[in-house]
Amino acid sequence: MSFPNRRHFLVAGLTASAAAALPATFAPGTAHADDPTAATAARGLRVDPFTLGVASGDPDHEGFVLWTRLAQQPLAEDGLGGMPQRPFPVLWQVYADERLRRVVRSGVATAAPEWGHSVHVEVDGLAADREYWYRFRVGPYVSPPGRARTAPHPSSWGSALAMAFVSCAQYEHGYFTSYRRLAEDHPDLVLHLGDYQYEYTRDTYTIPGGNIRDHEGPETETLAGYRQRHAQYKTDPDLQAAHAAAPWLVVWDDHELDNNWADKVPEKPEVPQPNFLARREAAFRAYYENMPLRRTSIPRGIDMQLYRRVRWGRTATFHMLDTRQYRDDQGCGDGYKDCPAAVDPARSITGAEQEAWLLDGFRRSRAQWDILGQQVFFAQRDNNAGPAKVTSMDAWDGYVASRRRITQGWVDAGVRNAVVLTGDVHAHWASDLKLDYDDPTGPSVGAELVATSISTTGDGADSDPATHPFLAINPHLKFYNNQRGYVLTRIERDQMTADFKVVPQVTVPDAEVYTRATFVIEDRVPGVQQTYLRPLDPSLRLAPITAEDTVRQETERP
């Protein structure tokens, strides 16, 4: 099934040029272009500073976070966006109508140079379970509008939740068409599960035939570099459209800092990187500056509080996890291995404190759906048909005891419906979750839905999912597709429906989107049930899928 568009306001009004068609002043009662506040704010601004768009995030039943960042020259090498080194007062307004006429909240925030001239406004006092619109102004310049919404009251069911989740957007590998199509689906909430940006310099991480766009600047290792890279991604109009369409819940994976990093250990510890902790601090600061996060996530040196819980009425509780900052280093030198460290009960992917927080959340939850928004593959994926168990050391397979404790935790807590959402692996997957993956006849205790990449690894290709060897070796795996796209879900009291959306190409702009498959998770029926599979195009010449190809796609890096 597909969820039709309810409005086209979002994609029609998201760019700075569209904002120019709006009134030059805000609603009555706010500052005008000729008042002292506006004159002070305009000093030093020669062009429109709203080049990076707007965003909202972390909603609750009373409000949400609003975000923007001022940048006159977003790709400036010093990461300062061409902004004068002084603070700017930024007016913000929240509206009850999409024509931006009825103001319900407003104020002034400071865009400070030490935080990259970013703005984070925590709006509260709003009505539960309804849409709002917002925009910003500095001097004579008005931002494009965005749409946000509040969650239902914790005691209320509210209406069905349209939630999309995404992962892995490599700017150089393709256009961000899936972000645009996601905005057109008009979701209520978007989860970004990591790899929002990539750290490499141009011509380093390439796809067959060559990259279609280039990163600016060197590999990101400094605050200036990370700010510049985030700004380059934020200038993409399709990404701006997705941010302005709905509030986001964001968590990072590895490329926001360094491929496959683990706590204080870089990807390649054998290669000296004496400044890695300084690099981590810079990456964390830039991530906060560029995301719609609450003040609880302001980084403190090399630490940043990113795991958190968001309630959507009685329908769902989202447990947003951080599987990078606290994990033990990957076993056996990373990669796909048959590794003794994978089953070491002392090793953890979440760290003890986050694990205890998650298990406590399971015990306290009264939600219909407990949803884990996290980064790496949760279910077992053995790529060896023989007695050896060859699995990814970077995924939960590399931390088997950690996975078992958390799975047992939601079973013991009597969680009604446990669903794990995942990114990272650049392909769509759906699977049943088990306590014991070595017993395929044992009961399922949850479901996992995995979103493919927005653009990473280029176009990909369609295939018959049943022919993937992983599905034969691991019967709990139920679906695979290697095209780019996102997952659009509809969460109701009695079921959760997931459309696996794909675009046939990302190396050309503006491809159309279609649903490749649909799965349903029924209330109190753990596991996934396929209800729709699009027939293969008979004109396609499909190459056979091999386990080696999948491993290479997930692990091949510069």
**pLDDT attached to residue 39:** 61
> In which element (H, E) is residue 497 found?
strand 495-503
pLDDT at 1 over 60: no
Contact 91, 70 (CB under 8 A): no
Spatial neighbors of 386 by CB under 8 A, at least 6 apart, are none
Mean pLDDT in residue range 266-294: 94
pLDDT for position 68:
98
> pLDDT for 65-79, tens place per residue?
999 999 999 999 999
Mean per-residue pLDDT, 405-423: 98
At 352-376, the pLDDT tens digits run: 999 999 999 999 999 999 999 999 9
Name the pLDDT band for 42 (thresholds 50, 70, 90). Answer: confident
**Is the per-residue pLDDT at 97 higher than 50?**
yes
pLDDT for 460-511, tens place per residue? 999 999 999 999 999 999 999 999 999 999 999 999 999 999 999 999 999 9
pLDDT at position 172 is: 98
Q: Give the pLDDT band (50/70/90) at residue 539.
A: confident
Q: What is the DSSP letter of 368?
A: S
Per-residue CA distances from 510 to 180, 227, 229, 238, 306 (Å): 8, 27, 23, 10, 33
User: Distance from CA of residue 479 to its chain's centroid?
Assistant: 21
Q: Which residue has the tokens 């590895």?
A: 254
By the 8 A CB rule, do 66 and 292 touch?
Answer: yes
Per DSSP (E only), the strands in 118-226 are 118-123, 131-138, 141-142, 146-149, 161-166, 189-192
Whether residue 20 has pLDDT greater than 50: no
In this prediction, residue 268 carries a pLDDT of 86
pTM flag (> 0.85)? yes
- Mean per-residue pLDDT over the chain, rounded: 92
With CA atoms as reference, report the closest residue to 104 among 76, 78, 130.
Answer: 130
What separation in angstroms does the CA of 485 have from each of 278, 456, 502? 34, 10, 4
Per-residue pLDDT tens over the stretch 180-208: 999 999 999 999 999 999 999 999 999 99
All domains of the chain, ordered by start, with CATH? Answer: 36-150 (2.60.40.380), 151-555 (3.60.21.70)
The mean pLDDT of 259-269, rounded to a whole number, is 94
When pLDDT is averaged across residues 332-339 and rounded to a whole number, the result is: 94
d(CA 482, CA 391): 19
Q: What is the pLDDT of residue 22?
A: 38
pLDDT in tens, 122-147: 999 999 999 999 999 999 999 999 99
pLDDT band at 542 (very low <50, low <70, confident <90, very high): confident
Using the predicted structure, report yes or no on whether residue 555 has a pLDDT greater than 70. Answer: yes
Give the pLDDT mean for 34-48: 71
